[in-house]
A and B are shown apart, each in its own frame.
Chain A
Amino acid sequence: MSEADTIYKTDALIAEDIDAYLETHQHKSLLRFITCGSVDDGKSTLIGRLLYDSKMIFEDQLEALQADSKRVGTQGQEIDFALLVDGLAAEREQGITIDVAYRFFATEKRKFIVADCPGHEQYTRNMVTGASTADLAILLVDARKGIIVQTRRHAYLAHLIGVKNIVLAVNKMDLIDYDQARYDAICDDFRAFVREAGIAENFTCIPISGLAGDNITSRSANTPWYGGETLMEHLETVELNNTDDQSKAFRLPVQWVNRPNLDFRGFSGLISTGSVKPGDAIRVLPSGKTSTVTKIVTLEGELEEAVAGQSVTICFADEVDCSRGNVIATADNPPEVSDQFESTIVWMDDDPLHVGRSYWLKLGTQMVSATVQQPKYTVNVNTMEHLAAKTLELNAIGVVELATDKPIVFEPYTTSRALGGYILIDKITNRTVGAGMLHFSLRRAQNVHWQATDIGRDEHANLKNQKPRVLWFTGLSGSGKSTIANEVEKRLNLMNRHTFLLDGDNVRHGLNKDLGFTEADRIENIRRVGEVAKLMTDAGLIVLTAFISPFRAERDMVRAMMPEGEFVEIFVDTPLEVAEERDVKGLYKKARSGALKNFTGIDSPYEAPLNPEIRVNTVEMTAADAAEHIIRLLMPLK
């Protein structure tokens, strides 16, 4: 049937029997796919063509398009389909697509959502974003150019995100006179590449022309040697991810506890895999408590069964503790719980990964603190080579070890996108900085347990008749941190308080002598000092620390380790000129001459506290005055 016939038939059905049309339309399934290609591969043209052929373009849009095509189009007097999909004004001026855009069209069998992903080098993150929800990826290749570096990168990324269906669309066949030999050679090239790289077992090759419409919705007379499906036939029949997900074990990450009154307690969430029925035995993770499902509640009445992909509310037979972040699973086959993982991370922020820094990690409905180790390696997405790396820069893909501050419920990403995929969020800027995929849990997490002791921090503190605290002095080198901390400790000592002063230079002679002054080492330095300070407060001491501690994130990390109110940030506020003028240790001079690298205030930043508990100004106050001021604000000490 020709393309014109299909449209005519649909129109006729709509005109003659709208109820019949609606009946078929409401039973359509949904396929989400991405299109990837580099600049000029004809990606926007292909999408424009799909919209046009499925009648998703209205007359007024078409008029505007015709006018635009003549004015700024690249196709002379012909319609430039690309103009339909290049959205933002800035992009239109530059003639490029800079972000993921979503398009919609439908045929008689399916509805489609297309994520239009830009192809340039710097936008790996956009493709990963678009692919994360896709059932299928179309890789566009210019028939004149064949498989290029970008094609390999797109194939690798699609594989990485777990897109199971790959279509290699060999475009612009009209420009190589529909040459079969050339087409076959391109498909062979790609086959050799995926075999070598160990990716994408299954892919489908289709010769097309987005501009001329060959093999898009109807078999082209220009390619009589091609016996396979048209692009549209393939999109209409390929298997969907969520059908596959239903055959796996039941998992429901809890989003919200529904409690309108004392008689009803339901747990709401989107079923990520499997299915559930009343009477099913379930287990709540991480607690491991079990119960039975009594009912599945919806506004339209109770359900007999619910499957992966549905948002539901379920009730249990027993009063089991269950809240947001927990996962409800089938009782005899629950997911794992762990706090140490191997994972792949795609870095998405201009600010690179800070090894050892604490980020928010969101996985399903769980939100925890996580730190990332130095990457084992990064992957060159063009050559698939493994490279050594100290950190992850924007668009880098690396394999890392990752630790969370408490155990999380997870499954390997290859089993479940919902329980294996996560995002990392910067705690200060709140930006989404990375996306990750968990591979497996590292054994050591399972073998190290917390040993409970009978004498705890309260007993220690009571005996010493004081409230344990960390007095965290932060400020530039030469600001007077150690001097003031020393004065404060002397006064506390006279008041019969049990104290300990951890000094930056002194700690680096022992515990931290293996650390240098790179950003990663500075973060680790502060993390260790934080842990030591925490042990000392557990022992009941008032701990004074004097470290430059230039980064807000690390000071906040230590703050988060301590019980509320025990972390006292003291900002020794000395302007750089004053500290440099003092230059007690001669370090500023060395840094200025270039002999000392990564020196705070000179070639490494100092992030001043935003809301310190105490601020002392060493230009106006002597060290003794500052110490008195601090003691006054600390009272009472018990």
Chain B
Amino acid sequence: MSYLESNLKTVPTGLRKVLYLNYPLIFLLTAVSCAGFLMLYSVAGGDMTTWAEPQMKRFAIGMLAMLVVGFTPIWFWRNTAGVAYFIALLLLVAVDLFGAIGMGAQRWLEVGPVRIQPSELMKIALVMLLAAYYDWLPVEKVSRPLWVLIPVVLILLPTFLVLEQPDLGTAVMLVLGGGFVMFAAGVSLWYFGTVIALVVALVFGVLESRGTNWQLLHDYQFKRIDTFLDPTEDPLGAGYNITQAQIALGSGGWAGRGFMQGTQSRLNFLPEKHTDFIFTTLAEEFGFVGAFGLLMLYAAIIGFSIYAALINKDRFSSLLTLGVAGTFFFFFAINMAMVMGLMPVVGVPLPLVSYGGTQMMILLSAFGLVQSANVHRPR
């Protein structure tokens, strides 16, 4: 009998649930998405139909999905977490077997007219399952080796499947997202210290493996590491993306060049300007004010989510909310760090702003889970 079950009487029911939605989060998510529409309109050269309009439709559907998920009782999600994880895992295997080829990697699965990216689904399903796992696991067992091994396997299984595609960005996201929930659940700090030490050792091993017959990464991945370390070395080749992105970003200055005035993006100097590098256009056209403003919107989303997690006495709800917030955080932090040259380019989109259907739907649905946790909080 968990805390939630014993306090079911205090959980709002029926239409009263509307009153208990987390409205600040809805407002913030909408604001970030609107910034996205604006930028998609701009990078299309002042055209709605290319990217902005489809993105708006997905936002509308995503918001609807968020409300549906939010009104669904949180225990339903807890009970189906395993099923969600299993389905996502099957889809990942399916992608590896017969996924469409896109951008040199198998990431999409086409089901009729719908094109889905199971790796996006997995990011949330993993967080759900781990939250449910730690909700079920007695607190005193959390740091016992066997009980630590199980979530590690649950994380690594999809991670390897994603690496097969290959999609380094999602693999990193899965590990970080999963680790985030484990950390939040109170797994001993020693484990994390050990893993960090091992990762450092592994990085050296990977770099050393280059050029040998047991090479651990693809050449293009090594190339990305090279260009991260010195983008100027090959400014028109592999370092082109990052050099041009930084030029765009830096030239924005304090207030930017003005809406639709960014020369870098307007003139196609920017790569993937509507997806992974859209932040550079925003930074170029709206300057530090715009870029910092967006960062603060993201920070507020994280802040409200953590607050919601901490006031919720249900363990699953808390962990789920923290996990979703963590995943969301890694999305934008990695994307921004990447385009600002703080880390290698790994192909992570800017959440809710970059053009991409699955990403938008999944993220909004994930915040549906946060809403559900908020709505069905025993009071």
Binding partners A and B: no
